[in-house]
Chain A
Amino acid sequence: MSRPAPSAPAPATAGNSPAKRPTSGLVGARLPKWAPYGAAVVGWGIAVGLKLLLGWTGWYTTFFTGAVLFIAVLTAWSFSVEGRRRAKDRFASTLIYTSFVCAIVPLVLILGYIAVKGLPLFSPDFFLKSMIGVTSREEGGGIYAALVGTLIIVGIATVIALPIGIFTAIYLVEYGRGKFARTVTFFVDVMTGVPSIVAGLFVYTFLLLGFGMRPFGAAGAIALAILMVPVSVRASEEMLKLVPRDLREASYALGVPKWRTILKVVLPTAMSGLITASLLAVARVAGETAPLILLVGYTSRINYNPFDGDMATLPMMVWDQLGKRAGTTSSDLTEARAWGAALTLVLLVLILNVGARLIAKLFQPKAR
């Protein structure tokens, strides 16, 4: 706060001619427009020099040192020309921009890396063959069994979780009041935070230990359903709240009972939103691995029956091919298959996500 704020609005001429700005008495000295770029060049230049002088290994350290130097140079320059407040502003703004880059870089790196590693594997055989009889020293084999297993298990989980989730959301939005509704809301929120491995352990103690069963597909589906319900409730709730009150009132005014109003007016209006919410909930659990380790196991053969025996799933196939399941070491061949399966999994999840957003965008109710 060292510099007093201008007491009158800047004259129009100051805004029109940028060249005049630094000389105006109302606006303090400013850095030229190219200042950030200049500072960037200086910062990374020093960093590269340091790397060559001190013999650092790796460009990442150099890159981060350069980033720190860039911020330091820009702030110091701004401080000497523009004063403390502007310097602080530049410092904070640069940090905020940097943090955004920090989020985008891993996303691009992860998606790019997995695409590079996984794409060479993609071939018709990879999608249409199972892993049966393929040892870790052989090429070939495919994800058919795992893909089928993932679709079956996620499908069962969806059938269990979505009705419960949507009905709970209807209860909270249309009927909810009092202690019971508040308790449900609170526990939906808390349940969102239940770690996936804990949900898996619960089903393990309940079904497998309690009834002495062997691992089977539907057990994994129940654990996934437990993870899916709170996500589905939360998202569906938001969608139902968006249905205008006027529509409900118009329906009541015509003498339609509440349950028919919900079925015939509220749900159709919110349908695209509910589909979006459901797809996002499915996408959230499709990639879960932890519960499947405990409940579904892994097999290289094709198993269409979710109620009998181990099933292959995409995450478990990755886990198996990396050698983590049996504690063996992975070879280049198994590692490549793991990347192929992981890429398929990511594509599956991304398709669900993008599809959900497209449906939301295409069919959104027109704004009032």
Chain B
Amino acid sequence: MAEMTEHDPTRNERFEVSAMGVPGDLPIGNTEPDADDARSTGGRTPDGRKAEGGISGSSVRLGDRIFKGLAAGSGAILLVVMAAIAIFLIWKAIPAFTENSGNILTTQTWTPQAEPPFFGMAAVFFGTVMSSFIALVIGVPIAIGIALFISNYASRRAATTLGAMVDLLAAVPSLVFGMWGLYFLIPNTQGFQQWLSVYFGWIPIFNNQTATTAGQFGKSLLIAGIVLAIMIIPIVSAVCREVFLQVPRETTDAAWALGATKWEMIRTAVLPFGRAGIISAAMLGLGRALGETIAVALVLNSGFVINWHITEPGGDTFASTIALKFGESGSNPVAIAALIAAGLFLFVITLVVNSIARIVIARRKDFTA
């Protein structure tokens, strides 16, 4: 930048050219006049606008039209699939709403095979939200710490390697997390859970009223939350890391120049810049935690009651219920419909959470662009 003086006549132009080359200034097609070739036959673009004429020959246009049709069609398939998921889940869940003798929102028990069918989502909803909440409380601060470590503490070379290692954690199948939680984490944290219950039992949620020895502690919402926390850390820290690396150099340099310590620099320059990114990363992690199936199914004991004591056994989530109750539902149409209804609830909840996260990210992009 040193050679660019204010009198450099080409400075602005050069700046623009280099700005266009930055990956991410979507879409690349926008600045190419040829991009309109495909519309030269007077058809309509997928977004419904009237097509404009081009300058190319007709043989060229045919290839372009086919290719663009394929590309846009693939995009359309995605939208169709999303719509189909919603439609089929709603359609096939209808018996769960009409045949149910309990209240689908407030009933806690899950006996859709009984005569009459009696079930509700209250306990399942509670378990899903509680385990995800624990996962967020544990996972998000750690993930932010990892992101800060990689972006501000580690050397450049180490940062790449360490980032890849954290990404590796994301690649481990959820089944393996569940098995590890069941066979390693639970036996090794019984003492910890007892310690929590004994010394922090005065906080009601940590109080275990049933167990008296360490051996009686085990499968609990707390453990499910810890396993989920380990599982969401990679995605949350990856998003946070991206945001922290984008903090303008000027801002951090200004903080350094004012004599800030490293933490003061992070608190005054990095964190305010990354706040929206952190929020959306947490929401993405929440979406993952809400929908996690196998790991949770392995480390939870089904109970179908709302239990605020998170060190006590028992707890269910939407996803684990579907996986565990599917086998015994057999061909009972109401039981299957009840599981589909649970899937529908889960779908809607994750859809809302993910949409909010994406909107927050998109808005931040608009502000910083």
Q: Contacts A164-B77, A259-B63, A345-B173; is A197 near B32 (CB within 8 Å)?
A: no
How far does the alpha carbon of A127 sit from the alpha carbon of B208 in the complex, in Å? 45
- Asked if B179 and A318 sit within 8 Å, CB to CB, the answer is yes
Q: Contacts A60-B192, A257-B60; is A319 near B175 (CB within 8 Å)?
A: yes
Taking A262-B67, A289-B293 as given, write out 8 further A-B residue pairs in contact, using a Cβ cutoff of 8 Å, ordered by the A residue number: A171-B68, A187-B79, A190-B82, A205-B92, A257-B34, A258-B34, A259-B66, A318-B179
- Asked if A248 and B28 sit within 8 Å, CB to CB, the answer is yes
Chain A residue with minimal CB distance to B362?
A186
The reply on B276 being an interface residue by CB < 8 A is no
How far does the alpha carbon of A245 sit from the alpha carbon of B52 in the complex, in Å? 23
- Asked if B293 and A196 sit within 8 Å, CB to CB, the answer is yes
The reply on B72 being an interface residue by CB < 8 A is yes
- Asked if A342 and B340 sit within 8 Å, CB to CB, the answer is no
- Asked if B195 and A175 sit within 8 Å, CB to CB, the answer is no
The reply on B186 being an interface residue by CB < 8 A is no
CB distance from A17 to the nearest CB of B (A): 22
- Within 8 Å by CB of A290, from B48, B183, B188, B323, lies B323
Chain B residue with minimal CB distance to A244?
B21
Binary contact readout B171-206 vs A (1 if CB under 8 angstroms, 0 otherwise): 111111101100110001111101100000000000
User: 18 pairs across A/B with beta carbons < 8 Å?
Assistant: A60-B188, A88-B261, A103-B146, A167-B70, A173-B26, A174-B27, A177-B27, A177-B47, A180-B48, A194-B347, A195-B292, A197-B291, A198-B291, A257-B37, A324-B298, A342-B173, A346-B173, A350-B168
- Asked if A175 and B323 sit within 8 Å, CB to CB, the answer is no
Q: In chain B between 205 and 229, which residues have their CB closer than 8 angstroms to a CB of chain A?
A: 214
- Within 8 Å by CB of B89, from A64, A100, A201, lies A201
Stretch at the interface among B5-13, B97-105, B113-121, B349-357: B349-357
- Within 8 Å by CB of A100, from B47, B91, B149, B176, lies B149
**Interface magnitude class on chain A:** 35 or more
- Within 8 Å by CB of A193, from B143, B177, B191, B288, lies B288
How far does the alpha carbon of A33 sit from the alpha carbon of B194 in the complex, in Å? 38
The reply on A242 being an interface residue by CB < 8 A is yes
- Asked if B179 and A187 sit within 8 Å, CB to CB, the answer is no
- Asked if A163 and B149 sit within 8 Å, CB to CB, the answer is no
- Asked if B142 and A99 sit within 8 Å, CB to CB, the answer is yes
**Interface magnitude class on chain B:** 35 or more
- Asked if A190 and B78 sit within 8 Å, CB to CB, the answer is no
Interface centre among A109, A165, A178, A289 (most CB of B within 10 A): A289
Binary contact readout B6-44 vs A (1 if CB under 8 angstroms, 0 otherwise): 000000000000001101101111111011011000000
Q: In chain B between 275 and 294, which residues have their CB closer than 8 angstroms to a CB of chain A?
A: 284, 287-288, 290-294
The reply on B53 being an interface residue by CB < 8 A is no
Q: In chain A between 201 and 256, which residues have their CB closer than 8 angstroms to a CB of chain B?
A: 201-202, 205-206, 209-210, 226, 229-230, 233, 238, 241-242, 244-245, 248-249, 252
The prevalent SS among residues of B at the interface is: helix
- Within 8 Å by CB of B21, from A85, A238, A245, A257, lies A245
Which residues does A use to contact B, with CB under 8 Å?
5-6, 56-58, 60-61, 64, 85-86, 88-89, 91-93, 95-100, 102-104, 106-107, 109-111, 113-114, 117, 163-165, 167-168, 170-181, 183-184, 186-199, 201-202, 205-206, 209-210, 226, 229-230, 233, 238, 241-242, 244-245, 248-249, 252, 257-260, 262-263, 283-284, 286-290, 293-294, 315, 318-319, 322, 324-327, 335, 338-339, 342, 345-346, 349-350, 353, 357
Q: Contacts A60-B188, A107-B168, A257-B56; is A184 near B173 (CB within 8 Å)?
A: no
CB distance from A341 to the nearest CB of B (A): 10
- Asked if B64 and A257 sit within 8 Å, CB to CB, the answer is yes
Residues of B within 8 A of A88 (CB): 261, 263-264
The reply on B339 being an interface residue by CB < 8 A is yes
How far does the alpha carbon of A1 sit from the alpha carbon of B175 in the complex, in Å? 49
The reply on B156 being an interface residue by CB < 8 A is no
